[in-house]
Structures are given as structure tokens and as C-alpha cells.
Amino acid sequence: MSISRRKILALVGGGVIVAAGGGLGYAVTRLPKTASLPWQMAGKYQDPRMHALSWALLAPNPHNRQPWMANLAEPGVVTLYADPDRLLPKTDPFNRQITIGLGCFLELLRMAAAENGHRLETTIFPQGSSPAGLDRRPVARVVFTPDTTVARDPLFAQVQLRRSNKEPFDMSRTVDPAALARIGAVVANGARFGGTVDATEVATWRELTHNALQIEIETPRTFQESIDLFRIGHREVDANPDGIDFTGPLFEALHVAGQFTRAAAADPTSSAYKAGLDAVFANTDTAMGHVWLVTAGNSRADQIATGADWLRVNLAVTSEGLGFQPLSQALQEFPEMADHYATVHKRLAPTGGTVQMLSRIGFGPQTTASPRWPLETRIA
């Protein structure tokens, strides 16, 4: 996670200064070496399937879990599975959000294949699925066919620029309402797009997303799920390039000095915990607009289709020069979130349906790409 100097200094809590001389100075300036390499390797494979997969693994996904595994045993075919070790059982008990992430993956796979002159025929859940959760049955069977006439998607140009921006947005810069129509126009897989940049409505959504995030943090088991996925410092990120990454000189220094650890972040009495709250609420509270997707149904196929549209929305937001960060805590299906879940659905789906995704938009600073596992580790 690229976090501003203001936030990191707040984590020190009490004005503690970390001396970074000699070997320590060298250590804290180190950045991850291998975690960003998949972004550089995208599109550099000869096999059409590997070529497309190298792009697809850059897709957005919950908590950067990268829950995909691809089987290439069948010539010309990618069989996609959900990795059972990469689910989020506390905050995503029915694997709805993970399934949406797999839908993002499949849409980016399609885009990348088209760029390389291949058409895809995709069968979703060829052996069936369960509403209770994902299992070891395949998520999709994807057949690659050479086709030089296949249409390329202009949104593909934004893939390397796409980010989930976890910094406060500039509240002095408003979002052009016309941008919402352009963003919504890219939705093509059945979801209903909605959005607002109206100041009064945005204030309402700021409050709701703030409160929902607070519930997730103050519910021990759901917050611990995030804490367990903290990757603090370049060594941890290179060793496990998934989850929630904290890198950069100041984070390295705080970690080496023992001032920023998973234990401290989980302790409600610690300065790290309190400053962390200020940091994440600075994001919800600086939203300059919100966008969302609603579907009529909530089947696994609906969730995969939502993922395709969510990727498209994300890329369209990027093309507008805007920052984008999902704030879907209020859509999580654990008991403590029930009231906020009901409120969101009453407002955004009053006649029925499922609100699948919710995000803030606005103008934010440039941030780095999220770490990724090498493609070879995602091949079954």
C-alpha cells in the first residue's frame, strides 16, 4: 500500500524519531525486488494462453488475494479454479466478492487475448456451483481460438495504469458529472451502473462508508482477517506478494524499530491502531463521488458478470484521470454489518436486486502498482 508521509508519521504516535544510520539506513531504503515483476512481464509470453494470463493476473481482487489458479493441461484451453487457500471467510462468507474478483480476471483475460488475435469461448462453472461458497469445481473453461478479426477493447490501454488508490483525495477538485455517463457507458455484461458526485449525496455516502468500515475494524474476527494479511516491509512483500502491503522507507524504519507490527496494529490501545483508524477514515471521508453496480440476481454467473463490468468501470475511471478505491464493507454479509447492508440496498436497489460493488472516486496522488505473484505460481 502506498501511504503518504503524513499517514506514516502519524503511525509513530507521540513523535518518536527512528534513527536510520549505517546498515539500518540501507535496510529501510530497500524496496521489494520481485513483487512488481509481473507488471513488467505482462504480454511477454509466446503461448497465447500464457500471454493472456500474464495480463489477467493484474486484475483487481479483494484484499489482493489473487484467488485464481489456471490449469493448462488441455491444449488451447484454460481451466480456471478458485484457490481455496485464498478466500476471505470472515468478511466474505459466501465468497461473493472473491467470485467478482474472478470475473475481473476473466474479463481481462478476454481483453488480452483479443489484443493478441484470439477469440475466447468461456463456459462459466461447467460442473455447476453452489450459492454457499466456492469449491474445487472449475470456475470457467476457456477455449482459445485464433481470430484476427476479433475486436480489440479500447479500455485495455488503461490496464497498466489502473490502481486501487488508498490515499486521501483532493477535496478542492470536483468530479465532472459528465464523467459518470462516460464511465457508465462501458458496462456491458448486465449490471446496472449508478453514481453520484452531488455534494449532499456524497456526504451521505461518506458517512455510511466510514461507519461500515468502522464496524469491520471493531469486529475482532473480521479485522483480524485483514491483520493476518498485512505484509510489512520489502522482505515480507517479496516473500508473499499478496494481501495488504506496507513498504517504503518510513514503513521499513518503523517495522525495524518495532513500532509498526501486526500485533500493534491489532491492539486498540496502541498508537499504531489509533493512527491507522485516522488513515483509513481519511479515505472514506475525502470521497468526491461514488459509483456502484447492481444486479437483478445474485447467482454465481451474476457475480462473474459483475466482475467483468467492475473491471470495465475501473478502467474507465482510470481513463478519466480519476482515483478509484472500492469501499464495499457495507455490502459484506456477516451479521454485524446487516443494518448497513439493508440501508445500502434500500437506497440503491429499492425495488429488488443485489448491490454488488461500491467505490469512491476523486482526484488522488499517483500510487504504485500492487504486488503480484509470478504467473508460474498461478498455474496448477
Cα–Cα distance measured from residue 97 to residue 265, given in angstroms and rounded to the nearest whole number: 25
Q: What are phi and psi of 191, to 5 degrees?
A: -75, 155
* CA atoms lying within 13 Å on the CB side of residue 116: 24
Cα–Cα distance measured from residue 155 to residue 314, given in angstroms and rounded to the nearest whole number: 10
Q: What are phi and psi of 302, to 5 degrees?
A: -60, -40
Q: Note down pLDDT in tens along the chain; length 380 residues.
A: 444 544 554 544 444 444 444 444 545 556 788 999 999 999 999 999 999 999 999 999 999 999 999 999 999 999 999 999 999 999 999 999 999 999 999 999 999 999 999 999 999 999 999 999 999 999 999 999 999 999 999 999 999 999 999 999 999 999 999 999 999 999 999 999 999 999 999 999 999 999 999 999 999 999 999 999 999 999 999 999 999 998 877 778 877 888 889 999 999 999 889 888 998 999 999 999 999 999 999 999 999 999 999 999 999 999 999 999 999 999 999 999 999 999 999 999 999 999 999 999 999 999 999 999 999 999 99
Q: Is 39 exposed, middle or buried (0-12, 13-18, 19+ CB in 10 A)?
A: middle
Q: Give helix 271-284 / helix 199-218 axis angle, nearest 10°.
A: 150
Cα–Cα distance measured from residue 156 to residue 55, given in angstroms and rounded to the nearest whole number: 10
Closest residue by Cα to residue 311 from 228, 219, 188: 188
Contact status, residue 327 vs residue 359, Cβ threshold 8 Å:
yes
Q: What are phi and psi of 274, to 5 degrees?
A: -65, -40
Contact status, residue 337 vs residue 215, Cβ threshold 8 Å:
yes
pTM over 0.75: yes
Contact status, residue 34 vs residue 374, Cβ threshold 8 Å:
yes
Q: How far is CA 176 from CA 161, 181, 276, 313, in A?
A: 21, 10, 31, 16
